[in-house]
Structure 1
Amino acid sequence: MHPPRTTVARARSLRRRMTLPEVILWQAIRGQQQGARFRRQHPMGPFVLDFWCEDARLAVEVDGQTHDHPDQIRHDARRTEWLTAQGIRVWRVPARDVLTNLDGVLAALRDLTNPPPPGEGDRSA
């Protein structure tokens, strides 16, 4: 699925003007430091994902205060619905968590990108 050229251009522009929480998270996860490879401001269909992990089929969205606005909430819901229909998991992390609890965010990200081996964590056996 190739994104429209306008989406690719928007992604390039967004890479040059990332928010502080996005920059902090990118510095922490770039270069496979988390064990998983991420891309930043990655075009996907009509959308630009804040961070994308191909191996885990995971989109990570850093949500600031603008995501509390009703119009943005509706847009985010449509976006998540579209991504989910493409087989992509979406994890939304509040920007304040990146700023105040980066270690916790990174631990959660490790869990999302490195699932336990089969049988581990399965207490039914």
Structure 2
Amino acid sequence: MSHFTNMKTRFQNLFYLEKSLNRLNIEHKRQLVNSDNSMTNLVIAQPNGYDIQFCWNGNEYDLVVDMSYWSQPYPVESFIDKIAQQYAGEVIIGESQKIGFEPIKYHQNKDGSNTLVLERWNGKNS
């Protein structure tokens, strides 16, 4: 018997969520939910046919999965944590670039944390 679980996330931006999945080499595809293209879910195919989805609930993307058929190399909590960590980095980079910062270093440390260095030059001559 299938039992789908909806797990709340803090992922609110489709662009950053997709960048995070890409950076983690997690293959996914977009799934349009309605005909006016205003709502898009992300689907991660699993070899067993029971796909993982990030479904828009109007505020954020819920992770929807049948836990009986979880077929990833790590537990669901680790899966979410990896994506959340990458998502946070993507948001910081993207939003910082909007106000003139540029990433100059992005490094994953041995402990699993990331180091991100941004810089911004003052355009005014002193």
Same fold (TM > 0.5): no
Higher strand fraction: Structure 1 or Structure 2?
2
Higher helix fraction: Structure 1 or Structure 2?
1
> Which structure has the larger Rg?
2
